[in-house]
C-alpha cells in the first residue's frame, strides 16, 4: 500500500513533578531542602529518512506520544528526561496543523530533523523555593504539560524528473526499462495507482537520477478529477518535466492534442510547472502511423523531443543521455540563480 497523505494525533511528554525532600543526616535532624527538579518531557521530532518512501505506518498508527519526564527525587536528584518520539518520514514530507491550516514543518533531506512539539518542562523541587524567610519550603511544582495537536502529513516526492502522461501512454513500461523500479504493467488504463520512484543509473559517471512516474492523468486533473492534485504534487520539486506521448494514435487520440491538454492541465494546477525544462518522449515509434504523426508534431510544437519504442527498446539509450544533460543543466541554472539571489541581499 502506498500512502502519501494521512492524519496523525501527536502528544509530547509532560514534565515530571518536582520533589519535596529534606536533608537528613546523623547529628543533623533538620537539614535544608534537597528536593530535585522533575525531568523534561520528551519532544516529538520529525526526521527525514531515505529508507522511507511513503506514510503507510502513520495511516495504521496515527497516535504518537513522547515520554513523560521522571519526577525529581531527594538528594538533589533531577528526574531523567522523557524519551523523544521520533517520526521518520520520507524526504519531501510537509506537515500541516489541522487547527490553523498552516504548514508548520517541511523535511527535504535525509537526516534533517525538526522538533514539531516540545515536551513540558519539569517542575521545580523544593530546594528552588528556599529563601531567607522560608528556610524549609514544603512546596514543589508539577511538571508542565507537553505540546499536542492534530496534523496532516503530506508527501511531495523529491525526484529529479517528473514523468507524466495519459493512461496507457507507456509510462510504467518506460520506467521499468530505464530504472530499477518494477511498476505493474498491463494493457488497461490506471494500472499505476500511486507514484513510483525509480532510479536511473549512470555507471560510467558513478551517478544516479530519480524519476517519479505518477499515475496517468485524465482531463480535469488540475481540478482534482481522478485525484489529480494528489498525483501532480509529486512533480512540483522536479528539475525536468518529461511528457510521454503515444505517437501512434491507434486509440483514436491525436498526439498533438494530448500534448496540448497535458500542458494545459499542468499550467492550470500550477503555472510555475510550465517554467521547468520539458522533454517530450514520443513512444510507440514501432507503429507505422507514429512516423507520420511525429513529422506533424515536430512542425507544430516547439519542444525537445526524443522518439522511443518501449517495445523494441529503440531510443532508450539516447533518452537516458538526454535526460542527464537536461537535468544537469537545470541544476546548474538553479544553483546560479540561488547564488545570484544571495549576492543581492
Question: Do β-strands 93-97 and 196-202 pair in parallel, antiparallel, or remain unpaired?
Answer: unpaired
Angstrom distance (rounded) from CA 40 to CA 51: 30
Q: Using alpha carbons, select from 272, 210, 211, 204 the residue that is nearest to residue 236.
A: 272
Question: DSSP string covering 101-133, please?
Answer: --EEEEE-STT-EEEEEPPPPPPPPGGGG--SS
Average pLDDT over all residues of the chain: 87
Angstrom distance (rounded) from CA 106 to CA 242: 26
DSSP structural state of residue 254: -
161 contacts 323 by C-beta, under 8 angstroms: yes
For residue 171, the model assigns a pLDDT of 85
Give tens-digit pLDDT for 134-171.
988 999 999 999 999 999 999 887 789 999 888 778 88
Residue 315 to residues 232, 282, 283, Cα–Cα distance (Å): 27, 10, 10
Question: Do β-strands 148-155 and 196-202 pair in parallel, antiparallel, or remain unpaired?
Answer: unpaired
Phi, psi of 7 (to 5 degrees): -105, 145
Give 121's contacts (C-beta < 8 A, 6+ positions apart): 15, 40, 41, 143, 144
What region, left, alpha or beta, does residue 318 occupy, with left being phi > 0 and alpha being psi -120 to 50 degrees?
alpha
**161-343 carries CATH number 3.40.50.300:** yes
For residue 268, the model assigns a pLDDT of 86
Q: Using alpha carbons, select from 66, 101, 70, 108 the residue that is nearest to residue 87.
A: 66
Please give the helix or strand (H or E) that residue 264 lies within, else none: helix 255-269
**79, HSE (Cβ side, Cα atoms, 13 Å):** 32
For residue 188, the model assigns a pLDDT of 37
Q: Considering the chain, what percentage of its residues have pLDDT values greater than 70?
A: 88
Q: In what order do the strands lie in the sheet with 5-11?
A: 63-65, 5-11, 148-155, 93-97, 103-107
Degrees, nearest 5: CA angle 310-164-170 = 20
Evaluate if residue 128 carries a pLDDT over 60: yes
Angstrom distance (rounded) from CA 147 to CA 14: 8
The reported pTM is 0.70
Give tens-digit pLDDT for 300-335.
999 999 999 999 999 999 999 999 999 999 989 888
For residue 229, the model assigns a pLDDT of 53
Sequence ranges of the domains in the chain: 1-155, 161-343
Give tens-digit pLDDT for 235-254.
888 899 999 999 998 777 88
Give tens-digit pLDDT for 262-275.
998 888 888 888 99
Model confidence band, residue 17 (pLDDT cutoffs 50, 70, 90): very high
Give tens-digit pLDDT for 107-125.
988 999 999 999 999 999 9
Angstrom distance (rounded) from CA 112 to CA 89: 10
123 contacts 16 by C-beta, under 8 angstroms: yes
DSSP structural state of residue 342: H
Angstrom distance (rounded) from CA 141 to CA 124: 5
Model confidence band, residue 194 (pLDDT cutoffs 50, 70, 90): low
Dihedral angle sign, alpha carbons of residues 252, 256, 258, 261:
negative
**1-155 carries CATH number 1.10.10.60:** no
Give tens-digit pLDDT for 195-226.
777 889 999 999 999 888 887 665 554 454 44
Amino acid at each position: 500500500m502506498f500512502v502519501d497523505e494521512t492524519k496523525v494525533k501527536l502528544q509530547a511528554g509532560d514534565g515530571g513533578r518536582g520533589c519535596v525532600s529534606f536533608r537528613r543526616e546523623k547529628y543533623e535532624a533538620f537539614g535544608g531542602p534537597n528536593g530535585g527538579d522533575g525531568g523534561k518531557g520528551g519532544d516529538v521530532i520529525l526526521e527525514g529518512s531515505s529508507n522511507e518512501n511513503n506514510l503507510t505506518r502513520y495511516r495504521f498508527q496515527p497516535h504518537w506520544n513522547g515520554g513523560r519526564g521522571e519526577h525529581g527525587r531527594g538528594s538533589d536528584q533531577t528526574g531523567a528526561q522523557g524519551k523523544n518520539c521520533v517520526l521518520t518520514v520520507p524526504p519531501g514530507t510537509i506537515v500541516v496543523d489541522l487547527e490553523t491550516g498552516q504548514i508548520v514543518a517541511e523535511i527535504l533531506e535525509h537526516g534533517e530533523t525538526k522538533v514539531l512539539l516540545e515536551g513540558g518542562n519539569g517542575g521545580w523541587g523544593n530546594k528552588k523555593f528556599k529563601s531567607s524567610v522560608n528556610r524549609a519550603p514544603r512546596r514543589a511544582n508539577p511538571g508542565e504539560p507537553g505540546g499536542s495537536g492534530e496534523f496532516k502529513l503530506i508527501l511531495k516526492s523529491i525526484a529529479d524528473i517528473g514523468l507524466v502522461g495519459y493512461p496507457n501512454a507507456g509510462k510504467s513500461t518506460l520506467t521499468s526499462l530505464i530504472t530499477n523500479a518494477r511498476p505493474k504493467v498491463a494493457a488497461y488504463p490506471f494500472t499505476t495507482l500511486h507514484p513510483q520512484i525509480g532510479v536511473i543509473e549512470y555507471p560510467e559517471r558513478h551517478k544516479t537520477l530519480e524519476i517519479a512516474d505518477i499515475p496517468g492523468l485524465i482531463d480535469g486533473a488540475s481540478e482534482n478529477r481522478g485525484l489529480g492534485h494528489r498525483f501532480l504534487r509529486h512533480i512540483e520539486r522536479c528539475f525536468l518535466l518529461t511528457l510521454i506521448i503515444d505517437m501512434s494514435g491507434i486509440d483514436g487520440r491525436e498526439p498533438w492534442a494530448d500534448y496540448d491538454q497535458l500542458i494545459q492541465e499542468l499550467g492550470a494546477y500550477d503555472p510555475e510547472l510550465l517554467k521547468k525544462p520539458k522533454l517530450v518522449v514520443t513512444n510507440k515509434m514501432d507503429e507505422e502511423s507514429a512516423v507520420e504523426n511525429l513529422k506533424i508534431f515536430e512542425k507544430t510544437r516547439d519542444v525537445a523531443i526524443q522518439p522511443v519504442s518501449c517495445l523494441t527498446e529503440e531510443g532508450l539509450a539516447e533518452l537516458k543521455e538526454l535526460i542527464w544533460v537536461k537535468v544537469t543543466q537545470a541544476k546548474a541554472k538553479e544553483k546560479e540563480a540561488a547564488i545570484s539571489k544571495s549576492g543581492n541581499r
